C-alpha cells in the first residue's frame, strides 16, 4: 500500500498537490470557496456577497474550474457555481478550523 510519507513523490503528484494548494493559497479564492460551502451561487451573487469585481470572480472561477475544484450548472444566462471536489473542500474546512483555533 503506497503511503504519502514513505515514498518519493513523483513529479505528477507533486505538480497536482502544489497546484491545488496554490489554489487554496489566495484569500479571494478561499472566500469564494467558503461561500460555496453554504450554497451554490451565481457569479454576480459571489461578486456582491464578497464585494469584488465580477471580472475578478470570473477569472478566479476559471482558475478553480481548471483544477476541477468547482463546477457550474446553467439556468438561462445565469451560471450557478458549486464545489466539485469534496475531499479538497474537507481539507479547506480542516485548515479553517485549525487556524481559527490558534
Partner DNA sequence: TCATTATATGAACATATTATCATATAAGCA
Partner DNA sequence: TGCTTATATGATAATATGTTCATATAATGA
Q: Which residues bind a second copy (CB under 8 A)?
A: 2-6, 9-10, 13-27, 30-31, 34, 37-38, 87-88, 91-100, 102
CB 29 within 8 A of CB 64: yes
Question: Quick check: 81 and 70 in contact, CB under 8 A?
Answer: yes
Q: Which stretch binds DNA (CB under 7 A): 8-16, 74-82, 90-98?
A: 74-82
Q: How far is the CB of 32 from a second copy (least distance, A)?
A: 11
Binding mask 40-59 for DNA (x = CB under 7 A): --xxxx------xxxxxxxx
Q: Three-state DSSP class for 48?
A: helix
Q: Per CB under 7 A, does 20 bind DNA? A: no
* Long-range contacts of residues 63-68, Cβ cutoff 8 Å, at least 24 apart: 63/23, 63/29, 64/23, 64/29, 64/32, 64/33, 67/19, 67/20, 67/23
Total residues in contact with DNA, by rule CB under 7 A: 29
Told to check if 28 binds DNA by CB under 7 A, we report yes
Cα Rg, the chain, nearest whole Å = 15
Q: Binding residues for DNA, per CB under 7 A?
A: 22, 25-29, 42-45, 52-63, 72, 74, 76-80
Amino acid at each position: 500500500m503506497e503511503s504519502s510519507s514513505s515514498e518519493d513523490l513523483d513529479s505528477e503528484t507533486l505538480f497536482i498537490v502544489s497546484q491545488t494548494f496554490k489554489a487554496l493559497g489566495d484569500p479571494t479564492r478561499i472566500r469564494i470557496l467558503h461561500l460555496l460551502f453554504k450554497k451554490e451561487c451565481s457569479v454576480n451573487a459571489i461578486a456582491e456577497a464578497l464585494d469584488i469585481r465580477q471580472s475578478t470572480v470570473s477569472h478566479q472561477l476559471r482558475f478553480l474550474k481548471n483544477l476541477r475544484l468547482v463546477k457550474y450548472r446553467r439556468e438561462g444566462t445565469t451560471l450557478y457555481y458549486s464545489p466539485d471536489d469534496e475531499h479538497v473542500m474537507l481539507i479547506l474546512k480542516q485548515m479553517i478550523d485549525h487556524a481559527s483555533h490558534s
